Amino acid sequence: MAGTGEIDEGFYSRQLYVLGHEAMRRMGTAEVLIAGMKGLGVEIAKNVILSGVKSVTVQDVGQAEWSDLSSQFFLQEAHLGQNRATCSLPHLSALNPHVLVLAHTGPLNEDLLLKYQVVVLTDSSLDDQKRFGDFCHKHEIKLIVTDTKGLCGQLFCDFGEKFEVLDRDGEMPASLTIDRITKDNPGVVICADDQKHGLFDGSKVIFSDVQGMTELNSMAPVEIKVCGPYSFSICDTSTFSTYERGGVVTEIKQPIMLNFKPLSEALNDHQLLIMNDYGKISRHNTLHLAFQALHGFVKKEQRLPHPWSQSDADLLLNIVKELNSVAKLEELDEAAVRSFSYTSRGDLAPMNAFFGGLAAQEVIKACSGKFTPLQQWLYFDALECLPEDGVCPEESSFSSNGTRYDAQILVFGSEFQQKLLRQKYFLVGAGAIGCELLKNFALIGLGAGEEGHITVTDMDYIERSNLNRQFLFRSKDIGKPKSEIAAKAVAEMNPQVNITAHQNRLDPDSEGVYDYSFFMGLDGVAAALDNVDARVYLDKRCVQHQKPMLEGGTLGSKGHTLVVVPHLTESYGPAKSSSGNTIPLCTLKNFPHRIEHTLQWARDQFEGLFKQTPENVNLFLRDPKFIERTLAHGDAEALEILGGVWSSLQEMEAGGQRPKNWEDCVGWARCKWESLYNNDIRQLLHCFPPGELTSNGLPFWSGSKRCPHPLTFDPNNTTHIEYVMAAANLYGQIYGIKGTRDYTEIRTTLDGVSVPPFSPKSSVKIHLTDKEMEEDRKKEGDDADKAQLEELKGKLSLLKSSAQMYPIDFEKDDDSNFHMDYIVAASNLRAENYDIPAADRHQSKRIAGRIIPAIATTTAAVAGLMCLELFKLIQGHKKISSYRTAYLNLAVQYFVLAQPCRPQNFQVAGKKYTLWDDFLVEGRRCNQQEMTLADLIQHVKKTNGLTICSLFYGPAILYNRHEDRLKMSVSSLVKMVTKAEVPPHKKMLELIPSFDEDEDCETVPTIRYMLL
């Protein structure tokens, strides 16, 4: 990209959905200087280079030391004694072919800074920060200062006296369907009740397609005031025409101008501190002074405080108190200052990952004008990672030993490092978060000892769109397994790491691999998954085996982390119902009012025409029982499916839809266009004319029901011809017929196509609700339907020898396959029918392809927070107050770090339990014969005082006072009831009981029945 204006959409695909094209173009002209190539500097450089600025210069005068290897992932032992910037350059250059990366090994000076639009200082002195801060402020160079010391970090931004933010939050502008507008002063707009407007006081909106109160359509943006989640007031509408129906209100985003103080002034302004953990307000104010005090300590002593030195901590605390004589903080967190002093020599990969993500996001804001910058200080600490007892260990256990973990040992000591090396962890997912976690694991030494091990599994293969944020992968790796390449990359970072890569999907089918023995051999699990169902399944396995789980996820600039600790916190839990996001079928079929509706409709058309019907045809051709099974679905559905199969197999001359050549495909596409965008709309308007009233006397076409109009085909209309080209080519593909992209040839072919005439019918029923639709679908067919089904069965029996078809799986990222061409054209034509604003290809691809926006900065920050929680797990922390869940939005510097929730209690017969409590039963004790059901019932009664009255294994009823089953062994009973063998790998059966003592109890402890 680098300033050419051309954006590589294949490479930046997911990031474009976060930043947008305009912001990316502005970034493509920016030149950035990053000073300091220790762990924090390289983390920022990695994220900024991946984001796609014009150039990045990395500056460092220092040589690589052992302590750098704790967090600088592009330095290796062979680089010791060499310049850090020079050694990092080849690796940084390989991250993004569109960004020029340079190294500068000389000192910083004003002449150097003048070459850049954005300057980032890491590991710098306060004197340099003030000097260069004043210089940058004067010369309108955006300045970011950041540093981490052990478990504490700071971030500062100065973007000058007038910095324009073009989009404060990056959210899509609201586009809302109007239900009604009052004639009043001020007028009130009430939106359709299927979508909250999400606006705030002062938002500006424009109106379009309003009927009746047409004055609004030509007005400049109007400022609003929120009345409720579905309503807001606007200007005086009392003299306007009366509102009739229709209309869309669209938010117009307004730029804002921000003012920043230079660092030398901002140092004394505690109002500029942005809080992130609201239990630590006094601590963050104290850290603002502690970082200044640390600079003073270093200036005086020419060194950082010694690890866990009481005398140095006393000295630092005294300097903080001196500073506070001016700052006058009401409360100083003296314990935090001492801990800060004890650990300030440390350099931790997770802290650098977190601050590296945040600082790089500020660089992106400075370059693009997108999102709200930090104003102006942020402090964060994870001092809860230290031992809970607060006892200061001996200084001797923190000495440097000339190992790659030296800078981590300075914080936690050598004993803790040995624990890290012995860990056995299971990472599920090697995508964006997975890559970042593996990098952090390698740097901290997780599983890098003789007894330690990491297992990573991911079933996916590397695609080009992954390269922009999954930084362990390069172009040469495209098409290879993610887990294998990621494991190889981190083994190069730290050759001591013991890692095994699998390509298994984590689900019930892989329980033979990830069985009881596997899970019981683990110390913990990390989830780097991109879907809720997989997280829920993994969470369930962790609860079964009483293992802790680290979980994190991102959505563009937003991220979250969760730590699950057995017996201490709640688990991830079952999947929350997503029915609130489901679009009703009748809305898709007849009453769309948002572009999301037309895109989902287009996607459904694609799946039905080019995937489901060809699959049904192939099933019919090879499965003798296909018709019998289809008839069992009910007459209405069977007619639809079997009718589709017959028409797909029968040639066009005989009344079917099977093409013989390319010209037939073009003819089919033209007739399909007529059916969808003209005939179906005419039929709908025949049933419900534009002036139709409901039984209440209100207009039928109002609110979210937008009155459509039919389209007339025009071969010179770009969208019309694009639909025909895409549809004809896809139709040809499912029959093995080669098509063309030649518009002239297609237009010539269209001249010979005969479109059948159409007249709307009064007998057609249009469903107004999904319930109506479902009821009609389930109804027994009438005699005519049954006769039609019999006729179809006879016709199909003559077509058994037909050639198979070629179903198409939707693939959004291949621009040559016509898939997105079809979706965009089909959706925008439907949108035109209903006067819904069209969507461009980029927006359509995100919605129809269900793409999750992603950016490297958020991923790095989330992975950093997850690994800080990992430290706490390995410390063995028992207090829930030591752990944190996090919610962040880097676009607006929104951070909420909070204590996790405790597990919910439930009662059985007056005794309290949580999800972590189970009844563990050894089915074969001391190699004895397996328990009978009677033995199990007696065991539970004896050990838990509860009498089992019924017992379930999944949906199967094992026992409901069945006397004849009491003498059977439990595994034999499971086999008999499920009619399936218990797999050899299954060492634990989960049995759900009911008890005489509390039969109505909905939640009970699970019986985990062991077959060892």
Q: At what angle do helices 613-622 and 635-649 cross, to 10 degrees?
A: 90
Asked whether the beta carbons of 250 and 205 are under 8 A apart, the reply is: yes
Q: Spell out the residues 6+ positions from residue 537 whose beta carbon is closer than 8 angstroms to its own.
A: 506, 507, 508
- What is the C-alpha separation between 613 and 644, in angstroms, rounded? 6
Among 519, 526, 527, 528, residue whose Cα is nearest residue 546: 519
For tokens 């989009």, the residue is: 167
- What is the C-alpha separation between 484 and 499, in angstroms, rounded? 10
Among 152, 71, 488, 142, residue whose Cα is nearest residue 337: 152
- Verify cis geometry, omega within 30 degrees of 0, for the bond prior to 186: yes
H/E segment holding residue 145: strand 142-149
What's the half-sphere exposure (Cβ side, CA atoms, 13 Å) at 923?
21
Active site residue 586: yes
Amino acid code (one letter) for 350: P
Amino acid code (one letter) for 374: L
User: Any idea what the Cα angle at residue 378 is, between residues 372 and 383, rounded to 5°?
Assistant: 140
H/E segment holding residue 829: helix 819-833
Q: What are the beta bridge partners of residue 555?
A: 558
- What is the C-alpha separation between 251 and 938, in angstroms, rounded? 67
Asked whether the beta carbons of 153 and 381 are under 8 A apart, the reply is: yes
> Token pair of 32, please?
């950035």
Cα-Cα end-to-end distance for the chain: 60
Asked whether the beta carbons of 874 and 420 are under 8 A apart, the reply is: yes
Give the residue ranges of DSSP H helices in 371-426.
406-412, 414-422
The SS3 assignment for 994 reads strand
> Token pair of 789, please?
């089904």
The SS3 assignment for 949 reads strand
Catalytically annotated residue among 227, 235, 392, 586: 586
C-beta pairs of 622-630 under 8 Å, 24+ apart in sequence: 627/793, 627/796
- What is the C-alpha separation between 469 and 554, in angstroms, rounded? 12
Give me the count of residues in the chain.
1012
Asked whether the beta carbons of 885 and 571 are under 8 A apart, the reply is: no
- Phi, psi values for residue 269, rounded to 5°: -115, 95
> What secondary structure does DSSP assign to 233-261, as a single string?
E-S--TTSPPP-B--EEEEE---EEE---
- Verify cis geometry, omega within 30 degrees of 0, for the bond prior to 376: yes
Among 959, 969, 965, residue whose Cα is nearest residue 993: 959
> Token pair of 291, please?
């970082």
H/E segment holding residue 493: helix 482-493
H/E segment holding residue 561: strand 558-564
Sheet holding 948-953, edge to edge: 918-922, 1006-1010, 988-995, 948-953, 956-959
H/E segment holding residue 290: helix 281-301
> What secondary structure does DSSP assign to 589-635, as a single string?
HT---SHHHHHHHHHHHHHIIIIIHHHHHHHHHH-TTHHHHHHTT-H
- What is the C-alpha separation between 483 and 456, in angstroms, rounded? 6
Catalytic (active-site) positions: 586
